[in-house]
Copies of this chain bind each other. A is one copy, B any other.
């Protein structure tokens, strides 16, 4: 079934050590390894060796896919941001005309996201060194933008009552963001259901949404 004719007599065993992989896959694996290490050890403590080892490749291979250690960080951030935005957009869309459900959807995605990806959010968007480039700026604009659009639409539809849409969008995002910050977790772990309920209330009341 596998290279019967044009292969080489390299078939002693069945299990073949695949050394080269499609570039996309390799890159993704490195990204995964980097993300895992950032979470486990923190950004500062993550070395290129950790990432390479995590992806099961030699150190040099890392540099075939990323220009530098800082480069992967940006890439992981970008990937995370894009996924998050996509989830938010989907949640808002699928709520149809129910403006309360849209808010709940944002809360759900925000919190769910944290549960699933743990502290990744904070690790990535916060402990980042000062030199974030346009790459990251763009990702953040996208993110906040989702909330701004939601509020604007809700107000236009007469469902929400918000004075300062842009600023409130940032505040609401802020409220979710960092909820699972390891900082709080240690001191007083939060119950997920209570958190969701409280956040829903906060969101609805803030935009003055009447059931």
List chain A positions with a Cβ less than 8 A from chain B: 5-6, 8-9, 12, 41-45, 122, 125-130, 132, 136-137, 140-141, 144, 163-164, 166-168, 170-172, 174-179, 181-184, 186-188, 190-191, 194-195, 197-199, 201-202, 205-206, 208
Contact = CB atoms under 8 A, between A and B. Distances in A.
Contacts of A43: 44, 127
Contacts of A128: 127, 183
A144 B144 CA distance: 26
A88 to B, nearest CB: 17
Contacts of A183: 125-126, 128, 132, 136, 140
A78 B120 CA distance: 25
A197 B137 contact: no
A202 B168 contact: yes
B42 A129 contact: yes
A42 B132 CA distance: 12
